[in-house]
Amino acid sequence: MVSEVITAPSFATAADGAEHFFGTRLSSVSVTPGRASLPGAPHRERGASVILSVKQVHGTDALVLDSPVEQGQVFDGGWDALVTDQPGVMVTVRTADCVPVLLHDPVRRVVAAIHAGWRGAVAGIVPKTVALLVSRFGATVKDMRMAIGPSAGPCCYEVDEPVLTRLRDVFPEWHSVVSPVNPQKARLDLRAFVRRQALADGLDAERIATVNACTICQPDLFFSYRREGVVKATMVSGIALVPSR
Ligand SMILES: [Zn+2]
The rounded Å distance from CA 215 to ligand 1 centre is: 7
pLDDT digits (tens, 9 = 90+) for 135-177: 999 999 999 999 999 999 999 999 999 999 999 999 999 999 9
- What digits encode the pLDDT tens for the residues 67-124? 999 999 999 999 999 999 999 999 999 999 999 999 999 999 999 999 999 999 999 9
Cα 219 to middle of ligand 1, angstroms: 10
Length of the chain equals 245
Q: How confident is the model at residue 245 (pLDDT cuts 50, 70, 90)?
A: low
Q: Identify the structural domains of the chain with CATH numbers, from first to last.
A: 5-150+202-241 (3.60.140.10)
Report the DSSP pairing between strands 178-182 and 208-210. Answer: unpaired
Give the pLDDT of residue 30.
84
| Average pLDDT for 30-37 | 94
Ligand 1 mean position, distance from CA 56 (Å): 24
Alpha helices in 83-219 (DSSP H): 118-122, 125-137, 161-170, 190-200
CA of 71 relative to ligand 1 center, distance in Å:
38
Residues with CB under 5 A from ligand 1 (ion): 153, 155-156, 214, 216-217
Q: Ligand 1 center to residue 216 CA distance, Å?
A: 5
Q: What does the angle CA 192 – CA 27 – CA 229 come to, to the nearest 5 degrees?
A: 60
The average pLDDT across 52-62 equals 97
Which pLDDT value is given to residue 185? 96
| Distance from Cα 152 to the centre of ligand 1, integer Å | 6
User: Where are any strands of DSSP class E within the chain?
Assistant: 5-6, 18-23, 50-52, 62-65, 81-84, 89-95, 99-105, 110-116, 145-148, 158-160, 178-182, 185-188, 208-210, 235-241
Q: Any residues with CB less than 8 A from the CB of 202 and at least 6 apart, and which?
A: 141, 142
What is the three-class DSSP state of 172? coil
Q: How far is the CA of 82 from the centre of ligand 1 (A)?
A: 28
Burial-class residue 78 by CB neighbours within 10 Å (0-12, 13-18, 19+).
middle
Gap between the terminal Cα atoms of the chain? 33
C-alpha 46 – ligand 1 centre gap (Å): 33
pTM to 2 decimal places: 0.96
Q: Rounded to the nearest whole angstrom, what is the distance from the C-alpha of residue 6 to the centroid of ligand 1?
A: 17
